[in-house]
Chains A and B, each alone.
Chain A
Amino acid sequence: SQKIEQNSEALNIQEGKTATLTCNYTNYSPAYLQWYRQDPGRGPVFLLLIRENEKEKRKERLKVTFDTTLKQSLFHITASQPADSATYLCALSYNFNKFYFGSGTKLNVKP
């Protein structure tokens, strides 16, 4: 079965720096990879989607890369702010009938 690995240790960075979060997967590459933000006690919020034939996607301060050779996606937040502090989840899908989520990485941005 598909295994998705996200760093379970919290990532602590200083405000203004770039945060980089990693999502690694086993087995064959998904057709789509998504990143979500989740705040405590709330449902995940969709951020970005990248397809297997795309190398990079950007949205404002966010950037996602997708390397099917390394079986890895990187999620970057540039000019990070304390308001960016949350848990970030990656999710994979092969046919959009089923989604697999990682356990998430908690990001702490210190002022």
Chain B
Amino acid sequence: DAGVTQSPTHLIKTRGQHVTLRCSPISGHKSVSWYQQVLGQGPQFIFQYYEKEERGRGNFPDRFSARQFPNYSSELNVNALLLGDSALYLCASIRGGSYEQYFGPGTRLTVT
């Protein structure tokens, strides 16, 4: 089976712009989580979605939003980008009943 996939791999945006990041979970996984990882830090939890509903939300401003589609893929949207939003954005899917998170390779976002 293919692992978690994310697109794009890299992205460069300007302050004030909007960005959409995409994630496809492992086949059969219904839950997706999003994380932001700044260099030298651990991943910071942003959102978790299960069956298209938000199940958890981290301490991030309202500029961050997400949604999950009927095929369980997910999008993370960030509005009004700030320089501090530059980070690796990770998506993880969770195997039902096991609580194991499987991470994708991430999207490297650079805001200039």
Contact of A99 among B33, B41, B98, B102 (CB under 8 A): B33
A residues 1-60 with Cβ under 8 Å of B?
Answer: 1, 4, 6, 32, 34, 36, 42-46, 49
Q: Is B104 an interface residue (CB 8 A)?
A: yes
B99 near A104 (CB under 8 angstroms)?
A: no
Do A103 and B99 touch (CB < 8 A)?
no
Which chain B residue has the least Cβ–Cβ distance from A95?
Answer: B56
Among B4, B41, B42, B105, chain A packs the most CB atoms within 10 A around the CB of B42
Chain B residues with Cβ under 8 A from A49's Cβ?
Answer: 98-100
Task: Tell me the count of chain A residues lying within 8 A, CB to CB, of chain B.
Answer: 25
A99-B55 CB under 8 A given contacts A43-B106, A44-B43, A89-B42 = no
CA distance A91 to B38 in the complex (A): 16
Q: B101 contacts which of A34, A98, A100, A104 (Cβ < 8 Å)?
A: A34
A residues 86-111 in Cβ contact with B at 8 Å: 89, 91, 93, 95-104
- Residues of chain B within 8 A (CB-CB) of A36 are 101, 103
| A88–B64 CA distance with the chains assembled, in angstroms | 28
Interface of chain A, helix or strand or loop or mixed? strand
B110 within 8 A of A: no
Alpha-carbon gap, A97 to B40, bound state (A): 24
Assess the B103–A45 pair: CB atoms within 8 A.
yes
A99 touches B40 (CB 8 A): no
Given contacts A34-B100, A46-B100, A97-B56, 20 further A-B contacts (CB under 8 A): A32-B99, A42-B106, A43-B4, A43-B92, A43-B103, A43-B105, A44-B43, A44-B103, A49-B98, A49-B100, A89-B42, A91-B42, A93-B99, A96-B94, A97-B48, A98-B45, A101-B43, A101-B44, A103-B42, A104-B42
User: Which A residues fall within an 8 A CB radius of B?
Assistant: 1, 4, 6, 32, 34, 36, 42-46, 49, 89, 91, 93, 95-104
Binding site for A on B (CB under 8 A): 4, 33, 35, 40-45, 48, 55-59, 90, 92, 94, 98-106
